[in-house]
Amino acid sequence: MKNTSLLLAVLGAALLAGCANPTRSRDLANAGVTAETLAQQVCSNCHGANGNSVSPNFPNLAGQTKPYLAAQLRGFKERTRRDPAAVAYMWGLARSLTDAQIESLAAYYAALPARVQPAAAAVASVDAGREIYAHGVSGSTAPACASCHGADGQGTEAAPRIAGQHATYVARQLVIYRDTDERPDGAPMKAACGALGAQDIRDVAAFVQSRGDL
């Protein structure tokens, strides 16, 4: 047993000494790991190796605006964004990111080409969504989506890109904005989508996803 313990200790020490690997690290508490490495080794598991996620549970990040991405990562780290998915998936992963890593991650994803995504809803729904997107909900004074997110959802300095985003994800966020205060960074959205009904949300989300070729 004594020899066994000794052998294990030596083996363990050798492995520990030889395994520092910052270029392919998944260590979220190491400020020395680059944003590109973190994006590929960790973020890609849900958001895709090219920033486009397979599952609509997780948003596409490729081509997203840098200010929005950085603000979300800060929101996760500081726990100000507190919708259920943010708490379950992102709070922990972002808890030790440095400001430099956050800025670099935002820049990394902003520079990736956005995916072309086909519409996944009926034409009538997409058309209804286009109308809401461009002109707002009839009878409401809330601004139209296009006024902040751009004519085709490409995003601006003030508002994120939503073109080509998964409809399921967009719809979920609209409900969170409309019904809760879990995303305080999106205060303007609370007023903007207050008049949206369930079908309106489905329609506008379907239209937004169909704008993937921009």
Which residues of this chain interact with another protein, rule CB under 8 A?
A: 1, 4-5, 7-9, 11-12, 15-16, 19-22, 24-29, 40-42, 44-46, 49-50, 54-57, 84-85, 87-89, 91-93, 95-96, 112, 168, 172
Look-up of token digits 């009904």: 197
Closer by beta carbon to another protein, 52 or else 65:
52
What is the closest distance, in whole angstroms, from the C-beta atom of residue 149 to another protein in the complex? Answer: 24
What is the closest distance, in whole angstroms, from the C-beta atom of residue 36 to another protein in the complex? Answer: 9
User: Of the candidates 185, 106, 196, which has an alpha carbon nearest to the alpha carbon of residue 145?
Assistant: 196
What is the closest distance, in whole angstroms, from the C-beta atom of residue 139 to another protein in the complex? Answer: 32
Exposure string for 69-78, b = 16+ CB within 10 A, e = fewer: bbbbbbbbbe
Closer by beta carbon to another protein, 37 or else 125:
37
Give the amino acid at 106: A
Sort residue 41 into left (φ over 0), alpha (ψ -120 to 50) or beta.
Answer: alpha
What is the closest distance, in whole angstroms, from the C-beta atom of residue 57 to another protein in the complex? Answer: 6
